[in-house]
Amino acid sequence: MVTEAPRMNVESFNLDHRIVSAPYVRLADRKQLPAGDVIVKYDVRFTQPNRAHLEMPTVHSIEHLFAEKSRNHSDRVIDFSPMGCQTGFYLILQGEPAYDEVLALIEATLTDILDATEVPAANETQCGWGANHTLEGAQTAVRGFLAERDRWNTVYAA
């Protein structure tokens, strides 16, 4: 007899990571706040779960670069946070932008990262581990993610 696992409070804990096919961009959650505002969370998955991951200096640098540069393209950005499993990031936005608008924001920001000459705030004054960065690693990972742009809307393997 197969029993289904109980539903958990964390959305990603209910996602079967064995059947997704990275890279992809997936709407992971939508919340309506008590005052009526809406926020959405996107799963921006760079690597295949349980098969590959990004090294921490790469994750850390993408986080800094995306957090800084995305705000040049949208006032909706609330947060861009790394996943603990090091396979991707969560992008949290205000409101409910169209999916194409989200993809355009991600693409424009990642393109900016390819043109960066330094990781912003990668120093002991502005960062808790300022030495743990790699612009080259971030740009390599971003280049790979952008090269797969046509796959971003396919979450599950065919």
**How is 8-36 classified by DSSP, letter by letter?**
PSSGGGGS-TTSB-SSEEEEEEEEE-TTS
Structure confidence at residue 91 (pLDDT): 98
Strand pairing class (77-82; 88-94): antiparallel
Closest CA to 119 of 79, 127, 111: 127
Listed by start position, the domains of the chain span: 15-150
pTM here? Answer: 0.94
| Window from 1-10, 22-31, 72-81, 97-106 with minimum mean pLDDT | 1-10
Taking the C-alpha atoms of residue 74 and residue 47, their distance in angstroms, rounded to an integer, is 25
15-150 under CATH 3.30.1360.80, yes or no: yes
Look at residue 3 and tell me whether its pLDDT is greater than 80.
no
Per-residue pLDDT at 4 exceeds 80: no
Annotate 68-130 with DSSP letters as a single string: HHHTTT-S-EEEEEE-TTSSEEEEEEES---HHHHHHHHHHHHHHHHH-SS-TT-STTT-TTT
What is the predicted pLDDT for the residue at 5?
Answer: 75
Whole-number Å distance between alpha carbons of 7 and 92: 23
pLDDT digits (tens, 9 = 90+) for 67-102: 999 999 999 999 999 999 999 999 999 999 999 999
